[in-house]
Chain A
Amino acid sequence: QKEVEQDPGPLSVPEGAIVSLNCTYSNSAFQYFMWYRQYSRKGPELLMYTYSSGNKEDGRFTAQVDKSSKYISLFIRDSQPSDSATYLCAMSTTGANSKLTFGKGITLSVRP
C-alpha cells in the first residue's frame, strides 16, 4: 500500500462547479498537510498548508483534514477555467528523517 493515495482522474467539470479532490494516507505519523497546484511546465505552487484536523479556508479554496480517518480533501468553489491544472496533495512527518511525500496528482479541467 502506498503511503499517499490520490484519486487518479482526470477530472473535467463545467465552470462554476464545486470541485472535490481527495487523498488518503496510511502513515499516522504525518502531521503536516499541503495542497499544491501545478500548471503545465511550471513548478508546484503552494495553495494550502495545515497541521490540524478540521477545515481551513482561503478564498474559493477549503482544505479539510480528518486525521482519524487519514483523509484530506481540497474543495474549490465557483471553479474557473484558470483553475485547470494538476493538483497534488503532500504530507510530512516531523523531526529527524522527515520528508515530504506527494500524491500522484490529479489533472483538473474546468470547461467554460
Chain B
Amino acid sequence: KAGVTQTPRYLIKTRGQQVTLSCSPISGHRSVSWYQQTPGQGLQFLFEYFSETQRNKGNFPGRFSGRQFSNSRSEMNVSTLELGDSALYLCASSPGGIGYEQYFGPGTRLTVT
C-alpha cells in the first residue's frame, strides 16, 4: 500500500499570507489528523477529521482550519500567517481514528518570513 503523502514538502510564505496544505491518506483509511511540530513545543495535535467531519480539535486559534473530502483527502489552511507558525506540519492517517495506529506522512515544512 502507498503511504501517506503530503504536498507541498516545503513552503516559504510571508507574514499575513495564507497557506493550504494537502494530505492524501493510506487507501481505505477514513481518519486524517493534523499535527504541528516545533523544536520548542514538540508535536501538538491540531484536529482530526473522520468521514468528512471534524471530530476533535486541539488548542489552536481559529486561523487554523481544515476539511476532508469524500475520498478522505484532507487540506489544512492557515490564514494570516505569523512568524510563530513556522513549523513542520504533519498529517497522520488511521483506519479508525485517535486510539488506533496513526501513520504519518513526511510533513510539510512551512517557513514564515
Chain B residues within 8 Å of chain A by Cβ, number: 25
Which residues of A are found within 8 Å of B42, using beta-carbon distances? 88, 102-105
CB distance from B74 to the nearest CB of A (A): 15
B43 near A92 with CB under 8 A, answer no
Give a binary string over A42-54; 1 marks a CB under 8 Å from any B CB, 0 the rest: 1111100100000
A98 touches B (CB below 8 Å): yes
Known contacts A92-B98, A92-B99, A97-B56; decide if A102 and B106 are in contact (CB<8 Å).
no
User: Could you list 17 further interchain pairs (A-B, Cβ under 8 angstroms) beyond the known A31-B99, A101-B45?
Assistant: A32-B100, A43-B4, A43-B90, A43-B105, A43-B106, A44-B43, A45-B104, A46-B101, A49-B101, A88-B42, A88-B43, A93-B99, A94-B99, A98-B99, A99-B45, A102-B44, A104-B42
Which residue of the partner chain B has the closest CB to A97?
Answer: B56
